[in-house]
Structure 1
Amino acid sequence: MFNLSVIYDYNYDGVYPTWMVIKPESGYINWSAETLYVHIEAPFQRLSRDEINDYALGLSIVQTDLVMSVKHPDHFGIYMPRVKKRLNQIRGEQYTPSFRLADIEHFIVQMSDIEIVMNMSISTRFALNKFKSRSQVDETDF
């Protein structure tokens, strides 16, 4: 299981989910798994950019790392062999600092990549209407 938080961005139309931060509840990422499945369930815990620990090592998950779950349409997967291959390439770059897999505390995924993989519009479903103040937002908005 994972703890999910979402970083929202603002524009003239309202507030939109931009990045999902995925942290394992156990505190450790299971690097031996072939695919880690993440359950999408709203409302999401809101996270500001200032709340992210500057010293925590996170890894961006790109669209090509994501897979659909045929059995569970409300889940998406992170295909770990592809992630590890990309990490090995990063480690070979000259100015990349040394790190271990166990040092990575969370994943960060663009919400638009999740939308594409899951063939849905998270931005539309989970955006806050610009005409509602924060105090007016209720669970029907998520």
Structure 2
Amino acid sequence: MATIRVYYDYFNDTLSPIWLLLHFGRGGIDWSKEHLYMPIQAPFYRIEAEEIHEDTMSLSILLEDLTINPYEAGYYGIRLDRVLKRIHKQQLLVDPYDIEQFVIQLGDLEEVLQMDVRQHYQT
């Protein structure tokens, strides 16, 4: 299971959550799965900029990599198959096994979760 932390910074003079960091450790991501589902957990463990280790192999998760869990409320998903395709397509010189951490912009995650909520309120 991942350690979930959130990096906060000032946006429009207000302290706001910016990045969700999912730390798995080296070899901790099961790339044989199509999706990785994670619970939406709050409150988030807040970290400072100094606590983000520059030597940690991180990969950004894009909006198009995110989904919701159609079977369990309160979980979002990361489409690992898309992430792997992007790694290979962009010819990134990284072994997926070495990726220790995913970084997600909280705005992207909120957008995916809102899209799901809107489906339930359509008339």
> Which has more radius of gyration?
1
Interval of TM-score (by shorter of Structure 1 and Structure 2): 0.7 to 0.9
Contact 2:36 2:77 (C-alpha < 8 Å) held by counterparts: yes
CA-to-aligned-CA distance 1:4-36 (integer Å, 9 cap, x gap): 100111134421111000012796111111100
Q: Where do 5+ consecutive residues of structure 1 fail to align?
A: 121-142
Per the alignment, do residues 66 and 88 of structure 1 end up closer, same or farther by CA in structure 2, a change over 3 Å counting? same
Structure-2 separation of matches of 1:49 and 1:20: 13
Identity in percent: 37
The alignment's C-alpha RMSD in Å is 1.9
Per the alignment, do residues 88 and 27 of structure 1 end up closer, same or farther by CA in structure 2, a change over 3 Å counting? closer
SS of 1:28 mapped into structure 2: coil
Asked whether 1:116 is paired with 2:115, we answer: no
Q: Where do 5+ consecutive residues of structure 2 fail to align?
A: 116-123
Contact 2:10 2:16 (C-alpha < 8 Å) held by counterparts: yes
Please report the TM-score for the alignment, with normalisation by the length of structure 2: 0.84
1:101 partner amino acid: P
Number of matched residues?
A: 115
| 2:101 maps to which of 106, 111, 123 | 106
Structure-2 separation of matches of 1:48 and 1:60: 18
